[in-house]
Structure formats: structure tokens, C-alpha cells
Structure 1
């Protein structure tokens, strides 16, 4: 589903008589800003299908000084609302906190609380895409951006866990430990666990009432390895958008992250695994997309055309996913660039293809070792290290206005 578009899936159009409306969710939300929605099946049974929402909202726990929480929510595609309660309102909506934080040495986490964008990386298993999310922190004490990655297994574990419940003298959030009504709140009708119930209108009132008072899950969803994949702090920009491309290289498959910023640039980044669960981040290049700096609003990858389409308030343009020729005219330069799209073909740095002759291709993304890869090439020894660079742009006309794009 495209960002900003309206997805009805199994729903009738909003506004139809007797059909739940998305605006009805506002009873369970606090000034929400929706970022993305995506249909993700739960099983081979279509009646189990759910629509997942990614959004941020104000914290309702501190009304005088509200913070911002990032959330993931979901509803059943076949939600018809309740029979007596929640009539024409969603009756399967649940939400959980989406955490992206850096663990500190004292155990205190530094949170990136403002969700900015989400990219859904499909896999061979349609039930288990990988979720990439961009967050920012814009408080007076701490500013920065981060990219966190989430698995559907962890997300489902939270939604199948305890509900949040306020109790005690201080009215604090606790896990709900009372009797659970049947079917479990949030379960889809006619699905794997409720084959005899054809509609949410068939659900007992106690299920609907529980849903109305317990839309929040007690546990939060944490990222893989409980830490961000990419972090930026103490910089004068923040990430606004993300797109991810899977690239096959000589030494394995890599995820290449394209990260749009609020200063109008796109960073091309890969993250390499190291020992002891540590990772190494490499920024391959940073591209000035528009002559007039404007925050990047949206990015979409076309694998067929090998292009990244980028939009801002200035206009829309496209960039090549790979520009191997900018890495120089020597084998060592090409190898040191460590760009999974590119390899030395014996004459130039060019697009790597897994089907090309192995003997004549030189590439080492993991280690970037030209001594091992380029023996026999560049005997003059003139090897140069390529720092991440800001590359210039060429001007073209789009919709009557001047838009700056890579050549």
C-alpha cells in the first residue's frame, strides 16, 4: 500500500451506512499522526487477515506535559463493529508501543519516540515481512534520528500477550490478569480460532466491552537485537523517509538503505555484521537531490528500472540506485568503495551481476580488501580511499518547475 493512500481492503468505503469508520478509532487515540498502513496476513485463512497501522500519538498519561509515543495498531479486515456496543465502530482494534531506543550503560534507554516513516520489506513468506522504521528525537536535551528493524514474530508475540490495565491506588498500568472473555479480544471472526462466528456482531457483549476499555497491549514491541540498526546524533539534520533494496553481491545478499533527510539529501547506507552481534555502518554516498533544500517526503524503488523515485515539496525526480563510475578508474578504488551494486570487471567499476564470469569480477563488500582482490591490477599502487561524498546534481524540468536530479 502506498503511503498516504486510502486502503479499504475487505472494508466497504468509509461513510457507507452500517460500516465502521476509521475516524471511530479516535476514541482510542490521542491526536494521532498516521504514517503507514499495510495488510499483512496472519495465516493461510483469509478471515485472519489484519490491517496494521503505524502511527505516533501523544501520551495520555501526562496531559499537562504530553510526550509522543510511536505505535503499531491493527484491526481485522472483516471487522463489522459490535451488535449493542461499538456499533459501526471498530471492535478489534488493538495498539502497542513501538520502541526504538539506545540502551545506556546505566540501564536507562535513550528513546527515539517520533515515528517518521516505515518501509515494508517483503520476503518469500508474505506473513512475515521485515519492518524498517525511521524515528527522530527532537527534545531540548537530545536530538537525533535512528532506523530500527522489527520482525512480525515479535509484533505478534506482543499482540498475543497481556493487555494493559490500570489498577491500584496510583492507577498505574499493569498487565491484565483477570478472566479473559471468549473469543480473545482482537480475534477475527470466521478465522482459525473462531470458525463458527461469522461476524464481530456475533461476539458476546463482554468481548466488545473489554475491547472498548483495553485497546492497549502491556508489552512494547522492541527492534531486532533491542537496538537501532542506524543512529545519527549531534548532526544538523534528521531522517524523514526510508526505502530498502536487496542486493546480491559476490559475498552474500545485502540490504541497501536509502535514507531521505530534512535537508533534501539521500544517504545510501549499508550495515555489515561483525562479531558479537555488533555491526558496522557504511555510508556509501550522500546525494543532493534538489537545488533548493527541501525535506524528502517520499521515496519508492523501481527494481525493474533500477531507479529511486524521490519527492519533496519542490517536485519529483529519480536517482540511479547505483553509480559505479563515480568510484574511480582503478580496481582498488572500486573495491574500497564496498558498494554491493558495483564490482571491478577488469576494465572499469561497473554493475555487479551474479551471472557474470566470476574470474573477472573483483568485489569485497564485507572487508574492502584491495590487496586480496586486485592482485594483478593497478600495479602503480595508486589506491585512494573514498570518503562519503555529497555529489552534485543536474537540472531538469518537471511540471514546469526546476527540479535537480542526478544525471
Structure 2
């Protein structure tokens, strides 16, 4: 509405927009210069490119000035005089591969308007989802410096799209460019430019971003797709056709077994305290936080030997000679490196989903003994699992039985590896 209560309209000129689907709008304030406050609109519209290879949709960002009251009664009455639009792209520019269908945005406002970030969720014609991040400063750079698509003359003064406290007094030359050539030639690219911030094969439709101050006082941004969020308790709300489910983001109890696990989890919602691993919001309120850095954890690890608890000193397996065997160790952190220790030998981990495997092709005397699965992260080493392999004595009359065990074990393991490989092949990160 203008100050007289009249509705200001988008231009109805043919070609200015084609079947637009509006996604969201955001008012970005400039505290030091309120007359230049802008309202940004995000939408997608049908692509005018008739090429069969072109996506049917393209995404746009448009802006109008907050003080825009429309044009004069003679020209552009009750119509925006500052409306400009630009193509919003997310993808791989060097390969000309784009996610063209904007689904949702989340605006993370900053005290300095230039640092305001737009987190945008896109889908593609090949059923993939991507998240791209844009800065308001980058969007403004396109609107302020790009040429106007299809306009080959000198740009009038004031520049079309300039905010004027009395928009009805703008020169006709400026208003005509906005009316007939509102699209910018340059495209708005994401901060990363070369690739999206995140890609998934899941069909996400909503995005929300949360900012939390971790125990080291550094702010962290966490990006979530498809979910809405409760503010204080930090819960994600999943909406399904059958039901609604919630997940508590502050799952600090998962790292409560030790200070090392709490710190190395690098969960910005959690901090180590005198009462264990607890949410940072309560930790700081009660002054219970014990600040531990990853470097402190690493230094302590070098001075101490971290061994398993007495209840987990090892699993004993009796294995006959001549058969294959494998050991399994759970992967608790994908930031850690896992190795197997057997005497003075070190073997790499064979990762299968959430397990670390050690394969023994054929049991011989040298393979018996103690095995340790060790995780190392940021200099902190921990024994995750212990095994003791001992020889199983088989009477001579049953040697055929022992030889029959081998193919059965390998068939079972081979099927597991094949299933895992196929599953991973279908997942696109």
C-alpha cells in the first residue's frame, strides 16, 4: 500500500513475468540509511527458452524500494517505479548444470545489511535437491552494476531502480526503463559460485537455519531442510501425511560418557560441564561450562592411554585354522580415522556402512592373538573394540567340516559387501 492506502501492483506488461509462483519476500533494513531499505521477493516462473533441453522453470529475485509510492498519475500510477528482477542461479556454472526450481528460502538477517544471507532450497528436473547461499551484498551488486537486458542505450540518471522519497517525481526516462527492461543482464550467483553448498537425492521442500553460540563463543550456523523448528527447546518438527514427529536437537546425552566425546562431537548445542555433557543454553545460564578445546583433548590424549572399560576388555572368538574370518567395530564418528592393531601390525579399516571391518582371508597361526580397533581424531586416540582370537581345535575326523565353514563365511560376507556397495551406489551426497 502507498501512504494513501492504494494497492501498488506489479506490471501487467506481457513478458515481465510468466506464470510466477511466489516463494517468499523479505524486508532488509539499513539502519544507517532507512530511505534505501529494500524488499526482496523470491519466485520462480516459466522459462521463455523454447529449447527442449531447457528446464521449464527458472528462479528469480526481485526488489523494490520500501519508500516506493508508485508513479505519477499520468505515468505508472499505482505501479512500482523501482521494481527490478534478476535470475537466481544455483548449480555448476562451468558445466551449465543448474537447479532451477526454487522451493523455499530462509533469510538470516545481520546487523550490517551487507552480511545478510539468503539460504535457498532448489530442486531440479532430475529429482535432486540443492542448497545455495547468497549474500544481499552480492544481489545488490547485480542490481546496481549490471546492464538491463535488451536495453542498448545510455542508462538514464537517476539509475532505474534507485530509491526516491518522492517516486512520483522520477524522470520519465528512468521509469520507462523500469517498465520495459526490468530484467538485469547479469545473473545472481551463490557465494560458493562453482557448486551448491549442499546436494541431496532427497526431495526436500522447506529449509530453516539456526544460529547457536557454541561453548567457545564462536557462532555456528546449522542448516536443516524440510523441517520447522521450535525456538527455545530446539526441536525439529517432521511433517508426514500420517503424523507429526519431533526430534530434540540438544541430544547431549549421546556424548555424556566422557569429556573427550562431548568436545570431539563438535556439537554447537552441547558443552562439557561439571555435570557432564549438557545443552550450552543451560550450561552458560548456570555457569557450569568447563571450556575444553580440541587441542587440550589432544594433548591430554598424548599423556594418557585411553583404554576400554573393564566390561569391554575383549570378545573371545574360537576360530579353527584354514577358515576366513572378519572382525567388526562400530563407527561412532565419521571425523575419526579407524585402524586395527594386532601386535606391531597396523591395518586400515574397511568401512561398511556404520562398521569398520578387518578381513582375515585364511586363519593361520600368525593371525591369532589380540586385536584392537582404534579411533583417532584431533590427536585423541581411543580403543573402541577389543577381540581375542584363539585357536579352535578340531578333531581329524571333522576336518571336512572345517573346510566347509570357509565358503559359507565368505558367501555371507560377500553378500553383505555386495548389498552395501549397491546401496552406496544409489546415494548421491
TM bucket normalised to smaller = 0.5 to 0.7
Q: Which has the larger radius of gyration?
A: 2
Q: Is the 8 A contact 2:271 2:277 kept in 1?
A: yes
Aligned counterpart, 1:380: 308
> Of 197, 205, 215, which aligns to 2:172?
205
Cα deviation for residue 243 of structure 1 reads 1.5
Cα deviation for residue 213 of structure 1 reads 1.0
**Structure 1, unaligned stretches of length 5 or more?**
1-7, 167-175, 191-197, 261-295, 390-407
Aligned counterpart, 1:129: 116
Aligned counterpart, 2:408: none
Aligned counterpart, 1:55: 43
Cα deviation for residue 305 of structure 1 reads 4.4
> Of 213, 219, 238, which aligns to 1:253?
219
> Of 167, 178, 181, which aligns to 1:214?
181
Cα deviation for residue 29 of structure 1 reads 1.0
Aligned counterpart, 1:80: 69
Superposed CA RMSD in Å reads 3.5
Please list the CA deviations of residues 278-326 of structure 1 after superposition, one character each: whole Å capped at 9, or x if unmatched.
xxxxxxxxxxxxxxxxxx5xx2452x44444565666767543311113
Alignment partner of 1:155 is 2:121: no
Cα deviation for residue 91 of structure 1 reads 2.1
Q: SS where residue 8 of structure 2 aligns?
A: coil
TM-score (norm 1): 0.65
Aligned counterpart, 2:79: 89
- Alignment map for 1:365-376 (pairs within 5 Å): 371-372=298-299
Are residues 146 and 340 of structure 1, via their aligned partners in 2, closer, same or farther at CA, if it must alter by over 3 Å? same
CA distance in 2 between counterparts of 1:250 and 1:380 reads: 28
Cα deviation for residue 38 of structure 1 reads 0.7
TM-score (norm 2): 0.62
Cα deviation for residue 99 of structure 1 reads 1.3
CA distance in 1 between counterparts of 2:248 and 2:122 reads: 26
Cα deviation for residue 138 of structure 1 reads 2.5
CA distance in 1 between counterparts of 2:186 and 2:230 reads: 34
Aligned counterpart, 2:197: 230
Alignment partner of 1:109 is 2:75: no
> Of 6, 9, 30, which aligns to 1:21?
9
Q: SS where residue 107 of structure 2 aligns?
A: strand
Aligned counterpart, 2:106: 119
CA distance in 2 between counterparts of 1:78 and 1:123 reads: 21
CA distance in 1 between counterparts of 2:70 and 2:29 reads: 20
Cα deviation for residue 154 of structure 1 reads 0.9
Are residues 334 and 42 of structure 1, via their aligned partners in 2, closer, same or farther at CA, if it must alter by over 3 Å? closer
- Alignment map for 1:177-326 (pairs within 5 Å): 177-190=152-165, 198=166, 200-228=167-195, 230-233=197-200, 235=201, 237-251=202-216, 252-260=218-226, 299-300=228-229, 302=231, 304-308=232-236, 319-326=247-254
Cα deviation for residue 222 of structure 1 reads 1.0
Q: SS where residue 128 of structure 2 aligns?
A: strand
CA distance in 2 between counterparts of 1:98 and 1:380 reads: 53
Aligned counterpart, 1:340: 268
CA distance in 1 between counterparts of 2:273 and 2:144 reads: 51
Q: Is the 8 A contact 2:113 2:136 kept in 1?
A: no
Are residues 79 and 63 of structure 1, via their aligned partners in 2, closer, same or farther at CA, if it must alter by over 3 Å? farther
Please list the CA deviations of residues 343-397 of structure 1 after superposition, one character each: whole Å capped at 9, or x if unmatched.
3336533223467466x44464xx9x965566769642679643699xxxxxxxx
CA distance in 2 between counterparts of 1:183 and 1:27 reads: 25
The total of aligned residue pairs comes to 311
